[in-house]
Structure 1
Amino acid sequence: MTSHITSGTISAAASGTWTLGDLSVNRLGFGTMRLPQYGEALVPDAVPRERDQAIRVLRRAVELGVNHIDTAAFYFSPLRSANELVNRALHPYSNDLVVVTKVGPGRDTSGQWLPHATPRQLRGQVEENLRQLGRDHMDVVNLRIVGTDSIAERFGALAELRDAGLIRHLGLSNIHEHQLAEAQAIAPVVCVQNMHGIGATPDQKRLLRVCGEQGIAFVPFYSIAGSGRTAGVTTTDQHGTLHAVARAHGASAAQIRLAWTLHQGPHVLAIPGTGDVDHLAQNVAAGSILLSESELADLNSLSE
C-alpha cells in the first residue's frame, strides 16, 4: 500500500542522531550497494542503472537530510560504480556529510569475487576508495570479514592508515563478538555492520546489545530484505502481523521493518538503499514512525 507519510518532505533528521567517533549523523542513512544496477546486487551480469537516475537519487537523499552514505569500491556493475556515482553527485562534499566505505573483499573487472585482501593489499583498497571518491581521507573505513579467524593483522594495518591520516575512524563488518574485542585491543571501533532484522538470531541480538553497552553504532544490513536477505532481494512479507502494523500507520511493510530497526536502540542506524526517488522518500519517512510497545512486542515475536 502507499504510505500517507511519504510526501517527500520528512527529513532524515526525524530519525534522531548518533555520533560516529566525532562525526554526528542522522540515524537514517543511505546504502549504495543497489545503486549501480537493477535487480540483484553484486552479480557479474547485473544490468547497469542509468547514471542520471542514480545521481538524482543521491542528491535527493542529501536534500532529505541524509548525511551518512555507505559505499564500497566493490559495489559496481558493468559501466557503473557506486563510488563514481557518489563522487559525481555529491562532490565537493559538504562538511556534515559522512562517507563510509568498507574494504577486505575485492572483485575483478568482470565482477567475480577475489580472495580477501592481505594486510598489504588493504592499503591499496583504501587508496582506491579515496581516488574514486575524490577524497584525501575517509571518514570511516569498515573491515569486512568472512569467517572466525583472527583479524588482528588486518585491522592493525588499517589502524596504521588511521595513524597516517588516511582514515578518520575504523569500523567492522560481518563479524563475530570475539573479533570485536580483538579489534578494540588495537584501535577504537566506532561502528559494526552486521546482518540484523525482524527474526534476528540470538547471536545477532546479542552483538547488537553488546555494541549498545559499549557506545558503538550498530548498522544492520539487509534490514528490509527479510527472509530474502542473503539473495539481495526483498521478502514477500507474508506476515499478517507485519501488515497489520503497517496498515495502522498507513505505511508499507518495508517502512515498518525500518522503523522496527531504529527502535532497537539509539545506537542503531539504518542504511537502506534504492535506485528510485519515491522509494527513497518512503525509506526516509520511516524514520519518523513511532511504534507502540505492543506493536514492538508483536514484531519481536516474528521469525523469518
Structure 2
Amino acid sequence: MRAWVARRLDGPGAIELIETGVPEPAAGQVRIKVGAAAVNPVDLAVSSGMLVKLGLTAPRQQFGLGWDVAGTVDAVGPANAGAAVMQAKVGDAVVGVADLLAQTLKTHSDYVILNADAIARAPKGIEPKQAATFGLNGLTALQAVKKIHGETVFVTGAAGGVGGYAVELAKHLGKTVIASAAAADEALVRHLGADHFVDRNEDLSAAVRQIAPAGVDGVVDAAVVGIGAQEAMRTGGYHVHLQGGPKPPQLRGITVEQLFIHVNHAELDELARLVEQNVISTRVAETYHLNEAPQAYKRLAEGGVRGRLVLVI
C-alpha cells in the first residue's frame, strides 16, 4: 500500500510516499480502508520536527502522517479482542482519529490501523471527504468547551478549524459566544453562531469587555493569543490553551489548562450525531488525490485556508 511519512523532518516539501505492506489489526484494533483523510496543522508540525523540539514525542526514524480519517472497516482484530472491537464489522462506514504521535503509519495512506475506541459510525448522508473533516478539530473544540463552566465564552481564531467548532458547540451547549477573527471572516463567524464579533486586530481585552464588562467566564484560545485573551476574562475564569510549549500564567485566580486531545468513541460518536443533525458543519476547502499530498501540505503552510484540505483516496 501507499503511505506518506516524515523522515527528514525538513517541512512539507520533505514528506515521502512509500510502498509498504498492508498492516494487520491486533486485538482491540480495526483496519480501515481509507476513503478520505484531512490535512491538519499538526501534520505540518510533525513534518517540520516541531513536536520533537517541543518534547511532545521522542525522535524516531519515521513518523506516520494524518490524523483524521473516513473510510470502511476492512478487517477486525481477533474475536477475543472484546466487545468494543466486535461492535465494528467489516463493511461499516466509519470515522476515526489517529492520535498517537509515535505511529509509523497513519491516515495519509491506503489503509490505517486504529484502536476500536478511536472510531465511530460515520454520519449518514455525507461524503467521505466531508466526514474526514470534523474528528480532530471537533474533538479538540468539544473537550475545550466542556471545560468551561459559565454563560459566556470568548473564542479566538473563530474562523479556523478548532475555533469554528468551538463556536458551534458552545452555542449548542447554550452559551453566549464572543468570537474573534480577521475582519474579512466576520460573516462566516456569525454564520457559525457567534453572538458577538471582535476584530482580532483590536485590543481584545477592551473590545470584549465592552460586550461583557465583568469579563467572560472562559476562553477557548484557538489562535493562541495567550495573555491578551486572558485579560478579557473575569477573575477565577477558565482559560483553555491549545498549543504545546509554554502556557500563559495563572493570573487573578484564573485556571489555565493546556489541552491535548484524547480520542474516545463516546465523544467522536457524539460529534457524528451532531453532524447528522446539522448542529456542526463539515467544511471542505479543497480536495487532493493521495499522490498530491505535498501540494496540500504546502497550501496549508501558506495559511488562510478556511475549512479543511482533504486527501481523497
TM-score, normalised on structure 1?
A: 0.27
Structure showing greater relative contact order (alpha-carbon pairs closer than 8 Å, 6 or more residues apart): 1
Higher strand share: 2
TM-score, normalised on structure 2?
A: 0.26
Larger Rg: 2
